[in-house]
Structure 1
Amino acid sequence: MIRIINHGTYLLKGKDLLEKENAAIADRNLEPQSARKNTIAYKILSQHNTSGDNKTIKIRFDALASHDITYVGIIQTARASGLTKFPIPYALTNCHNSLCAVGGTINEDDHVFGLSAAQKYGGIYVPAHQAVIHQYVRETMTRCGTMILGSDSHTRYGALGTMGIGEGGPELVKQILEKTYDLTYPEIIAVYMKGKPRPGVGPQDIALAIIGAVFKRGFVKNKVLEFVGPGIENLSMDFRNGIDVMTTETACLSSIWTTDDKVKEYFAIHGRAESYAKLEPGEIAYYDGAIIVDLDKVVPMIALPFHPSNVYSIAELNQNLSDILRVVEEEGQKQIDNPSLQFNLTKNIDNGRLKVDQAIVAGCAGGSYENLVDVASIVENHSLGNDSLSLSVYPASQPIYLELVKNGTMAKLMTAGAIIKTAFCGPCFGAGDVPANGNLSIRHATRNFPNREGSKPGDGQLSSVALMDARSIAATAVNGGYLTPATDLDFAPANLPYSFDRKIYANRVYNGFSQPQPEKGLKFGPNIAEWPKMIALPKNLLLKVACVINDPVTTTDELIPSGETSSYRSNPLKLAEFTLSRKDPQYVERAKGVQKVELERQNYVSNDTSLLSPSLKELCAFLTSLPLEKAEEVLKETGIGTTIFAVKPGDGSAREQAASCQKVLGGWANIAEEYATKRYRSNLINWGILPFTLRNPDQIGFGVDDLIFIPNVKEKLMNGDEIFPVQVISPQGNRAIELMLTNLTKEEREIILSGCLINYYSK
């Protein structure tokens, strides 16, 4: 059902995919570089590139979007960097901390701050429960041929002709300050769709099939996916959007689709007919690879814990249940890395069937109009029962909710026993519908990382999530919680055309774009704090290894947990207390200990004290063990901080806090074999953290509390060096290794030299 072409391919007239050059191409003497310009992605990127260079591009976006666990930090950073007004439309949505259930008033305090910022700087404020961030953008801000940057990793609007990119907050700050988003020109991969999905197969099934085929191979990492081929015309817009939003889980940079009359109709329904334009590749377009999707061969899928790429067909799982679950348990136990917690899925086997405990359809992936109409068609005239299984559905926006009420869909769902809730992203990241300890939840949502659903391993809790399509979730729910593919049912989707009522937003959303009110004051709650002062990069660095993670991949959820901790993202110091709390609970204590020594060093350098503290004397002893003279003088020019080692950190969310929390606690560097995503590496750079990689992966072997001395790091960074000789000081003795800093732009080097993006702009 999915086939990968791992080399350059040509697409003729938007329909015929050629795996190698043929006579039609040879006759035109068309080189790949020239034919690449005929892709949709190349055209859009070129139109937004301000560099005049097609190798290193500098993008200015058409609009921005953030939600309520990112916009406070972004605005605070921009304020510290010279913000006066929002130069392009910027939507501040409130769909993550909507429940206002953690920390007293702090969630609603953030919302009050967001409205005051929209009024002062000319932004768009979407109150809580109106829409999840990506649905609001789809309905009101997309436009064919444009680009939108969001501070959420699932910023994907390709099916509507808009290239969406999800990044950490500092990248949005750059756009607010009318700077650029810089990257090397990305490779473009064709996603060639043919055929038509069979009844009962939904967008999540197609998405999971693609993710399962490409993620572990790293095939599309930091690349653009361009959806083409005759199969697209067989997909509705909700179906396309449902596939598109999940492309984030492939680790790609962005996505774009050909557009047609269905896209045109979508914009007309939403009162924005002028936003449509025909997008299609040129007559001969070249791609750096391809993914061929036979839509009619895709069957209902399930992504078992703990990653969206851990994909099986439901039929395969049901046929080999015990064997597959034991493998998943074994791999999952390694990820949990906590022998006191036993990951057990086989306990959910009941009479040879997998029985689940909870079912949810929600968010930007699950809460679409068509998904919920189809769920209602399946559960109609059934009872979901009064046992432990529950089914909760979250319409992605109030306009969707209203239409479902008008056409009777909500009545069908409620009569069957489903729980109807408002637009909210909580089930996706652990701030709502947290399963009971040991339970298994099936969800049409975006991720199923360890503990992302809200469980706390430090408190002895462990539950898990499997990702499925809404249709198979409904089929499972009406079958008493026993895992059932929707294709096993005699399922006929209801034909209920959608009508969008724009009055809902007109009556409630504040739209102040191009009308800033600078005389307005920002409204701060007691939890909203400024960023702490951060110093510029010193001449040398002496770093203590504060955490070592040898997992194949480390997610941003593991670096800084989601769930209730998200409520503290407006307070950098409080949030930092949760850093690595579910992966290495001792990290914060270690980092604070090192940070205390650095403050002692700064006091010594500033002549606040003329005496070396015992800790500084100890470090001088370490420095003396190196081929250096006058250790005390070297110490004055040597910043003391922490680093973490992880094999491949940064998969998942765009959250900048995965980097900023390390910085707040005195982090100066990450060391990795590679970085899982561009956005995490960018977050490190924007917070002044050196994103080192190992020149020789055989040199791993770091231990917690090892010291790493990096001499002349400032000078080497200024000179554009990419190889950094360092000394590792450990109980096993000293050793010399080499770290790498590659592909840094001049501006990125200057940001790190300044200590962080705030310092860079304040200069």
Structure 2
Amino acid sequence: MLNITRAGVYYRNGAFLPVQEGAAAGLPAPAQAREGTMAYAILKAHNTLDSMDRLAIRFDAMASHDITYVGIIQTARASGLTEFPLPYVLTNCHNSLCAVGGTINEDDHVFGLSAAKKYGGEFVPAHQAVIHSYMRERYAAPGRMILGSDSHTRYGAYGAMAIGEGGPELARQLLNKTYDIAYPPVIAIYLTGAPRPGVGPHDVALALVGATFKEGVVKNAVMEFFGPGVASLSMDYRSGIDVMTTETACLSSVWSTDETTREHLTRLGRGESYQPQQPADGAYYDGLIEVDLSAVEPMIALPFHPSNAFTIRAFKANMADLLHQVEVDAAQQLGVQNAAPLADKIVNGQFRADQGVIAGCSGGTYQNLVRAAQILDGAAVGSDAFWLSCYPGSMPVNLELTRQGYISSLMAAGASIRSCFCGPCFGAGDVPANGAFSIRHSTRNFPNREGSKPGEGQISYVALMDARSIAATARNGGILTAADELPDVPADRPDESWNYDDSAYKARVYYGVGHPKPETELVFGPNIADWPEQVALPENLLLTAAAAIYDPVTTTDELIPSGETSSYRSNPLRLSEFALSRKDPRYVPRAKAVLELERRRRVDPTDSAVVEALDGHDGKTTGLGTFVMAIRPGDGSAREQAASCQRVLGGCANLCQEFATKRYRSNVVNWGMLPFTSPDVADWKIRPGDKLYLPNIRAAVERGDEVISALLIQSGKETPVQLFLPNMTQEERDIVLAGCLINYYAR
């Protein structure tokens, strides 16, 4: 199914040569041959520097949704924003329901519309489109680069390179700054064959994620898709695979283009944006993943990660053991004990799910919902416990599904049709019952992602599956069924497209790109608050561990929960109350206690409580703060609040073996925190209350030191340790020295 080569290869005449054979074949050195990749051409066209070793990128367009755009605009506004210098799309697909928090969610939407008018942006009202569906339809095209404040910003199937980042990186673009990174590795994803009937894009995606994530095969790299198998896939199918590349921890993705791409762009009314795009003969890649599409089977990713992937066939053969491991993971990761055993879901040797969801940027495409409707046509979900919800990704998709009768078929089968909304992906819609098991064609199944609150003893489970197998399961009343088990499952055709009608957008979307109205007043609701002031890095730091997490990976959902926190994303102080609440409920009071001492220190360094806390260090030059220790933090969402909430509570550093994603590390730096790493951190057995003393830390950052000498203080014992700040750019150091990105721009 998949074959992975972790060494460099050349692509020549439709085959791959090991790097050591390049010279004998007359090929140039890898540094030159890398110029033959599609990624190189796109990055070069957007790089503002002469060298390609380090990149300073300006994007063609940006997108944010309604739990990120307020903070981004507030950051940029505090730093001197006068108008949007590039097309900036504000969608409203996360806090669409406005179901909790009084008026505050809709207040954010009103603010967004006023900002689009004032600064010249594009505003997509609630229920019109999922952010990524909209950007595919309106902006993605070969050769373009798009930046989004959502981790699943992936439009590679259109030949574009898109990157999901935290809000400060978008604020930088709004201030005419650049996105600065080292030139990334580029990994070839070579597709052959064609999918079998019943095998959908999520099956291919989960097979890829399962094979790559745990070993970091494509971490912070660009995944470049090409090969004869691409021609066997429709645009919807390609996008369904592409959007899930985020779960591999890659930086971005890009696909070759062909007549299918041209035809689809023409249907979208943007045929002129098409251009052919293929790797050059002799292109060099830093690694290779060969995927035989015809060998992919229907997949299931068990809780609590998309990489926990198995074929449905293998899951059925080992249900008891695999479900027991899920229970072990639930107890270890969530702290939920004595939950109802998952073995109860096995009835007469068959696994019974409780809920199905087909939604969002990965599930809510036209082709996915057509397949689901065809599989369910003439059948019924039934009146027992199992239920099914379907969320079209955009109003144009919804219109065409309705006109072709597929919405009617789904409704007649008992499926619930919902609006264009991202909620089920992050726990704000279709939350399962306690103990229930949900199968979803959505992007993630992290702990708590479905909306449960383990801290209150609740637990439910999400497994990822393709829409085709979810529909097959629904057809059998919730009994887990792979779509290829059905005798009559329809095939996916590469020429399967749909008629695009954007009349719903024209009736509701505010198109203000390039037409700012500076006289417009921003509309502030009572929950929209400015960022609290942050202070510059002091000469020395005495940091207290406010949390220590020893899980192999810590997700951004665990650092700041999704779901119920969405209503407070525009209010940094209220949101910070939720920081690490599902992982360590004592984190916030610990951090607040140290923050209060630091505030008192800045007023009076001789305050008796401050003197006691400083333990003999000079209060005039030594700041007090907190740090979070984790083994590998930051997997998952791009949300900046995973870092900013720590900073609001007085956080000054993260300490880890490595950062799970580049985007989380960027958020840590942009919020003025030191991104420390150490390969030995797990051996130090840090616990909350332990301290790190960092003498002369400001001078070390100013000098550009990558090795920092510190003292680890545990139960009164001081141990010298070395911390590392690898690959920090001068600008990153300046941001940390200033205290945060806003301070850096203000200076």
Q: Same fold (TM over 0.5)?
A: yes
Corresponding residue SS for 1:26: coil
Tell me what 2:685 maps to. Answer: 701
For the 8 Å contact 1:65–1:133, the answer to whether it is kept is yes
DSSP-derived class of the 1:73 partner? helix
Q: Deviations over 1:64-86 (max 9, x none)?
A: 00000000000000000000000
Give 1:510's aligned residue.
510
Q: Contact 2:209–2:245 at 8 Å: present in 1 too?
A: yes
Q: Indicate the residue corresponding to 1:627 in structure 2.
A: none
For residues 186 and 497 of structure 2, the distance between their equivalents in structure 1, rounded to whole angstroms, comes to 35
Q: Does 1:464 align with 2:461?
A: yes
The one-letter code sitting in structure 1 at the alignment partner of 2:607 is L
Q: Which moved more, 1:652-661 or 1:732-741?
A: 732-741
Change (3 A) 1:698 1:447: closer
Cα drift, residue 761 of structure 1: 0.3
2:185 alignment partner, one of 178, 184, 187: 187
Structure 1 Cα separation of the partners of residues 230 and 27 of structure 2: 30
User: Cα gap change, 1:637/1:269 in structure 2, threshold over 3 Å: closer, same or farther?
Assistant: same
Residue 271 of structure 1 and its aligned partner are, at CA, apart by 0.4
2:404 to 395, 401, 407: 407
Query: Does the residue aligned with 2:450 lie in a helix, a strand or coil?
Result: coil
| Letter in structure 1 aligned against 2:113 | L
Question: Contact 1:728–1:737 (CA<8 Å) still a contact in 2?
Answer: yes
Cα deviation digits, residues 141-184 of structure 1 (max 9, x gap): 11210100000000000010110000000000000001000011
The two structures have a TM-score, normalised by structure 2, of 0.98
User: 1:617 maps to what in 2?
Assistant: 611
Superposition deviation, residue 346 in structure 1: 1.9
Distance 2:713 2:328 in 1: 35
> Is 2:326 the counterpart of 1:310?
no
Q: Does 1:675 align with 2:659?
A: yes
What TM-score, normalized by structure 1, do the two folds share? 0.96
1:656 equivalenced with 2:656 (yes/no): no
Moved more, 676-685 or 42-51: 42-51
Q: 1:38: which partner in 2?
A: 36
Listed one character per residue, the Cα deviations across residues 630-673 of structure 1 (whole Å, up to 9, x for unaligned) are: x4xx2211110100100000000000000000000000000000
Which residues in structure 2 correspond to 1:64-213 (within 5 Å)? 64-213=62-211
Partner residue in 2 for 1:523: 523
What per-residue deviation string (whole Å, max 9, x for no partner) do you get for residues 343-397 of structure 1? 7422211111110000000000000000000000000000111111111000000
What's the CA shift string for 1:493-539, capped at 9, x where partnerless?
A: 58875100122212211010110000000000000000001011100
Tell me if structure 2 keeps the 8 A contact 1:695–1:740: no
Partner Cα distance (1:331, 1:594) in 2: 33
Q: Quick one: distance in 1 between partners of 2:654 and 2:552?
A: 16
Stretch moving more, 349-358 or 671-680: 349-358
Amino acid at match of 2:481: T
Distance across 2 between alignment mates of 1:348 and 1:63: 46
CA gap of 1:326–1:515, structure 2 versus 1, over 3 A, is: same
Compared with structure 1, are the counterparts of its residues 312 and 518 closer, same or farther at alpha carbon in structure 2 (3 Å cutoff)?
same
1:242 and 1:47 mapped to 2: Cα distance? 27
1:250 to partner: Cα distance: 0.2
1:547 is aligned to 547
Aligned-partner SS, 2:619: helix
Contact 2:234 2:497 in 1 (8 A): no
- Partner of 1:628 in structure 2? none
Does the alignment pair 1:11 with 2:7? Answer: no
Cα distance in 2 for partners of 1:333, 1:554 equals 15
Alignment size in residue pairs: 744
Structure 2 Cα separation of the partners of residues 698 and 330 of structure 1: 22
1:28 counterpart SS class: coil
For the residues of structure 2 that align with 1:98 and 1:265, how far apart are their CA atoms?
32
Return the alpha-carbon distance in structure 1 between the equivalents of residues 329 and 432 of structure 2.
21
Of residues 419, 432, 435, the one that matches 1:422 is: 419
- 1:695 and 1:739 in contact (8 A); partners too: no
Offset of 1:707 from its aligned partner? Answer: 1.4
1:312-336 CA deviation, whole Å, 9 max, x = no partner? Answer: 1000111111122112322332222
Q: Is the CA contact (8 Å cut-off) linking 1:332 and 1:343 kept in structure 2?
A: no
Aligned partners of 1:375 and 1:85: how far apart in 2? 44
Quote the Cα distance in structure 1 between the aligned partners of 2:442 and 2:185.
28
TM-fit CA distance, 1:695: 5.2
Cα deviation for residue 21 of structure 1 reads 5.2
Query: Between the two proteins, what is the percent identity of the paired residues?
Result: 58
Q: 1:383, 1:478 within 8 Å by CA — same for their partners in 2?
A: yes
Pair 1:289 & 2:287 matched: yes
**Cα gap change, 1:98/1:341 in structure 2, threshold over 3 Å: closer, same or farther?**
farther
Q: How far apart in 1 are the matches of 2:382 and 2:307? A: 32
Q: Give ranges in structure 2 of 5+ residues lacking alignment.
A: none
Are 1:144 and 1:276, in contact at CA under 8 Å, matched by a contact in 2? yes
2:367: which partner in 1?
370
Counterpart position of 2:51: 53
Equivalent residues of 2:655, 2:675 under 8 A apart? yes
Letter in 1 for 2:611: K
Give the SS at the match of 2:241. helix
* Contact 1:695-1:738 within 8 A present in 2 as well: no
CA distance in 2, matches of 1:34, 1:99: 51
Change (3 A) 1:78 1:698: closer
Q: Which segment drifts farther, 340-349 or 39-48?
A: 340-349
Match for residue 690 of structure 1 among 674, 679, 701: 674
CA RMSD in angstroms comes to 1.3
Indicate the residue corresponding to 1:565 in structure 2.
565
For 1:640, the equivalent position in structure 2 comes to 624
Q: Whole-Å Cα distance in 2 between the matches of residues 343 and 181 of structure 1?
A: 48
Paired residue type of 1:16: A
1:574 maps onto 2:574 in alignment: yes
- What residue identity is the alignment partner of 1:740? F
Rounded to whole Å, the distance in 1 between the matches of 2:679 and 2:549 is: 18
Verify the 8 A CA contact 2:330 2:336 in the aligned structure 1. no
> Unpaired runs of 5+ in structure 1?
606-610, 624-630
Residue 235 of structure 2 corresponds to residue 241 of structure 1:
no
Cα drift, residue 10 of structure 1: 1.2
Q: 1:146 to 1:353 in 2, by over 3 A?
A: same
Say if 1:730 and 1:83 are closer, same or farther in 2 by CA, change over 3 A: same
**Distance in 2 separating the partners of 1:695 and 1:195:** 42
Q: Secondary structure at the match of 2:320?
A: helix
Structure 1 match to 2:274: 276
The answer to which of 499-508 and 519-528 deviates more is 499-508
Counterpart of 1:757 in structure 2 is 741
| Cα deviation digits, residues 267-292 of structure 1 (max 9, x gap) | 00000001111011112111000111
Q: Counterpart of 2:467 in structure 1: which amino acid?
A: A
